[in-house]
Amino acid sequence: MKRFHTVFLFLVLLSSIRFAQNRNVAVVLKMGPSSYEFDGFNESSSWRSALQTSAGVEFPISSNFSLQTQLYYSQHEVEATGIYMNLVQKDPKIRLVDFLCSLKWNIGYFYLIGGYGLSLQNTDEMGVYVKGVYTKLDSKDNKIFKAYLLGMGADVNVWENLNLIAEANLHIRDEYGGNLLMGVKYFIY
């Protein structure tokens, strides 16, 4: 089933690039704080918010709709609490890479966006040291999930080919997280 999703996304990307050759293509760059809820380590740990960056292309398919392909990246660190506070190994991290194809509905300066794609999650091994003995709490892991995107935002033209973007979105995968992103969109004619 994962192979089907990968092939589907690849075909959407190729067809969108071909379709975009006769359209006004825009390069989209966004970044902002990202907050995710993860399971898997232990209940006395929480994940710090991280900076999420994204890059992609957008091209119109009609006067009110655009197709957007984006690559998102974020890296979160664990924040141990309770009895593990001083014992957890330094800076265990989780890295997320999302590839999403989205449909954007433009309503004046505002828009709604919904997307589908794949998410790669990579986690470090996490353990604690108690009296010099290392105990593994969770092992290093790579996972691939289906990912969904729901969001809304504003897209305002500030200069000839340059737009400013503000977006709030929710990434839904095995876990979920909200993002507040600011960015720019530059049209390539």
Q: What CATH number corresponds to the domain at position 49?
A: 2.40.160.20
145 Cβ contact partners less than 8 Å away, ≥ 6 residues apart:
118, 119, 121, 173, 174
| pLDDT score of 36 more than 80 | no
What would the pLDDT profile of 62-71 be if each residue is shown by its tens digit? Answer: 889 999 999 9
| pLDDT for residue 176 | 74
Query: Within a 10 A sphere around the Cβ of 85, how many other Cβ atoms?
Result: 11
pLDDT-derived band at 82, boundaries 50, 70, 90: very low
| pLDDT for residue 79 | 64
pLDDT-derived band at 42, boundaries 50, 70, 90: very low
By residue range, what is the domain housing residue 167? 2-188
Residue 23, class by beta-carbon neighbours within 10 Å (0-12 exposed, 13-18 middle, 19+ buried)?
A: middle
Tokens 């966004």 belong to 30
State percent of the chain over pLDDT 90: 32
| pLDDT for residue 61 | 86
The domain tally of the chain equals 1
Q: What is the CA radius of gyration of the chain?
A: 19
- Across 93-98, average pLDDT: 83
Average pLDDT, the chain: 78
DSSP one-letter code for 88: B
- Across 86-106, average pLDDT: 78
- Across 161-179, average pLDDT: 86
Least confident of 33-37, 55-59, 102-106, 128-132: 128-132
